[in-house]
Amino acid sequence: MGRAMSGNEESRAAAPAVGPAEPAAHNGGADPVARDADRPAGDSELRSARWYQAGGLRSFSHRARTRQLGFLPEEHMGKPVIAVLNTWSDINPCHQHLRERAEAVKRGVWQAGGFPLEFPVSTLSETFQKPTPMLYRNLLAMETEELLRSYPVDGAVLLGGCDKTTPALLMGAASVDLPAVFVPAGPMLRGHWRGETLGSGTDMWKYWDEKRAGRIGDRELAELEGGLARSPGTCMTMGTASTMTSAAEVLGVTMPGAAAIPAVDSAHSRMAAAAGLRIVSLVRSGARLSRFLTREAYEDAITTVLALGGSTNAVIHLIAMAGRSGLPLSLDDFDRIAREVPVLADVRPGGRYLMEDFYYAGGLPGLLARLGENHLHLDRPTIAHDSLREQLAGALVHDDEVIRTPDNPVATGGGLAVLRGNLAPDGALIKHISAEPHLLRHTGPAVVFDDYRSMQRTINDPALGITADSVLVLRGSGPLGGPGMPEYGMLPIPDYLLKQGVTDMVRLSDARMSGTSYGACVLHIAPESHVGGPLALVRTGDAITLDVEARTLRLDVSEEELARRRAAWQPPPARYGRGYGALYQEHITQADTGCDFTFLSRPGDVPEPYAG
């Protein structure tokens, strides 16, 4: 592979789509494709050969059924079989182009001498799936793992991008540990409305509040509906989607520069084809996913998320992903790194620009080059190069406003802070870079809502006495209580306060919030209220103190009073009597440990299936 980024726009667009790079594998520098060009049919090094070449009735049956599919022996016998896992669906606008991208991947696989098989897998549509696709992240991870384990495949290309699909696909692939390449869906084009540039998610919240405040009407809102999201692709802000695809790139499991390519750019198709070429080389060189998903890689992913001013959701996902790699990762790792890493990406919601601007400014390779060896482990391998250092050689930044220099950052410390205290003994998060600064040290009286529905019904009731100094508290919205920890954390400001010009308030919950959201929102409070965490004990009128600099979140109530409340607390009834929901509620872990299932995150052997 050539340099990750070159000095002009054309080479930037083309960089991810150059032919396959030399894999980071112990192959003595030989070209793995050339080395294995004469591999005989039935080579036992291929996992798929156990299905096709073991001899006996079962192998005969597998070959016969492949003929039924219309394939000749010459098309697949002795070739790496590549699973193309596709999260496309008619109701996932972020992925509506992945049908075509899967064809580009398969084209690359064929050209490299592999045999591609496309598998449709669960589509977790952030915009439509209720109560939240977070409820089903682990289901897609299970599906990914079991499909790769149970079918005759030697490697996988994973197509995703909408918030939960990236971590889910990589969690499942990490658990089965075959060679794998991730293909990000890419961000959509920037939005437009009456001469303004719009960012999906972020401007949705902004203009909805403008409507509630009476500053725009139904006509303007109808126009915004048609201008906010204009093409296939994920949110074009630094929401959870681009945060997680950027994390995948720095983990070293995508083609270089892949995360920021706009979904509809022709460079995106070339990148998908390059991924197909690359996976065949990875299979032939034996480069399993665990070779790249190391402790150093996960630390670099944390660093990158913070330098991007990325989504708080990345904390849960990266902890879960590292757990599937058998590596410990905790909130303390995020807080430690956050104190050392500057925010360099001036991208909404914490900044001014959008993902298209970020891509043309140099993309993730440009940002990583600016972080450099002061913040990154540059000598670890990636799927495309022997080292991240080699992958970033020649990467350039073309706009210092979009991707800042370390001596002119958006913020000197990472955009996230981990809070602890008697209200969050296991931790909570705040994306303080997107909050109004005067609220980062604040004491105010709590106004408590027991669930999201009751909050929606009553938030605008003046009888609640909510003022700009109040601390809005939502409970019953965590991993169990939500269920699935919905993105309720950006609680709405009452209409009458919006009309007075109040644009931010301190808000606390055991929920998550969209990566496109903003405000002084304290999230992921653990343990959640549903399991008896201290959030369950808060009462309206209690004083709550937030101090981001001190990293504290405190309920100003005596221990004796809290003990009385705790003794009187009763756990809520289980939500599900059967089905996947029952499995979920029996095995889900808390936010600070990644919200994985206990039986998936624990160590243990899983036998390979007997194929003969």
pLDDT of residue 44: 52
Q: Are the C-beta atoms of 611 and 54 separated by less than 8 Å?
A: yes
Cis amide prior to 20 (ω within 30 degrees): no
pLDDT of residue 16: 35
> Taking the model in full, what pTM does it have?
0.92
Q: Which amino acid is at 88?
A: W
Give 501: exposed, middle or buried? Use CB within 10 Å, 0-12, 13-18, 19+: exposed
pLDDT of residue 45: 85
pLDDT of residue 528: 98
pLDDT of residue 42: 38
Give 179: exposed, middle or buried? Use CB within 10 Å, 0-12, 13-18, 19+: buried
pLDDT of residue 20: 33
Across the chain, which has 612 residues, the per-10-residue mean pLDDT values are: 34 34 31 32 74 94 98 97 98 97 98 98 96 98 98 98 98 98 98 93 89 93 94 96 98 98 98 98 98 98 97 97 97 96 95 96 98 97 98 98 97 90 98 94 98 96 97 98 96 96 97 92 98 98 97 98 98 95 98 98 94 86
The Cα-based distances of 2 to 22, 254, 365, 376, 604 in angstroms read 10, 15, 13, 21, 40
SS3 165: helix
180-184: strand order across its sheet: 115-120, 81-86, 155-160, 180-184
- Tokens 């160590």 locate to 603
Q: Which amino acid is at 280?
A: V
Sign, CA torsion 530/532/534/536: positive
Residue pLDDT, tens place only, 160-201: 999 999 999 999 999 999 999 999 999 999 999 999 999 998
Spatial separation of the C-alpha atoms in residues 233 and 95, rounded to whole Å: 6
pLDDT of residue 515: 87
Instruction: Please tell me the total number of residues recorded for the chain in this structure.
Output: 612
Q: Are the C-beta atoms of 458 and 587 separated by less than 8 Å?
A: no
